[in-house]
């Protein structure tokens, strides 16, 4: 049992699992913020323009009730969430582009640096 526990801890502590857990928590918090933004800011602004501060719009077909106001709210949440995630991904891509490449970041020994200098000098010599 102890062996399985150690393997489990090693699995959970890998970078991918931790990043997934952080992303899951951040996604939940982002959804909460966006829901509050839509409810407290966007809906009142649209309500001031259209004349109704709540999206409780419905119509009936026979005995069925179509709640298209809720659909509009969810659609607004989707668009804002998509835009927020797009901005996060763009910021991450910009960060990755500024990050040095693995070859540049690798810590090489003094011998490798000298060999690279010699190779550069030899390539620069006329044939």
Q: What is the CATH number of the domain that holds 47?
A: 1.10.1200.120
DSSP state of 63: T
Q: Quick one: pLDDT band at residue 115, thresholds 50, 70, 90?
A: confident
How many residues comprise the chain? 127
Domain that holds residue 98: 2-124
User: Is the model's pLDDT at 35 over the cut of 70?
Assistant: yes
DSSP state of 46: H
Cα–chain-centroid distance for residue 99?
18
Look up the pTM and report it: 0.51
Interatomic CA distance for residues 127 and 82, integer angstroms: 58
Q: Model confidence over 6-21: pLDDT tens digits?
A: 888 777 777 677 778 7
Helix ranges (H only) for the chain are 2-12, 15-37, 43-50, 68-98, 102-105, 110-124
Number of folded domains in the chain? 1
As given in the structure block, the two tokens for residue 55 are 């999206």
Interatomic CA distance for residues 83 and 85, integer angstroms: 6
The predicted pLDDT at position 107 comes to: 64
As given in the structure block, the two tokens for residue 30 are 């982002």
């Amino acid at each position: 049992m102890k062996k399985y526990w150690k393997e489990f801890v090693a699995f959970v502590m890998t970078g991918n699992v931790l990043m997934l857990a952080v992303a899951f928590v951040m996604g939940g918090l982002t959804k909460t913020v966006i829901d509050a933004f839509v409810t407290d800011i966007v809906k009142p602004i649209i309500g001031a323009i259209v004349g109704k501060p709540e999206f409780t719009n419905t119509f009936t077909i026979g005995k069925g009730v179509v709640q298209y106001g809720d659909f509009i709210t969810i659609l607004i949440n989707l668009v804002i969430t998509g835009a927020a995630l797009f901005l996060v991904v763009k910021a991450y891509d910009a960060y990755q582009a500024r990050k040095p490449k693995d070859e540049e970041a690798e810590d090489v020994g003094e011998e490798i640096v000298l060999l690279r200098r010699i190779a550069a000098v030899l390539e620069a010599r006329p044939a």
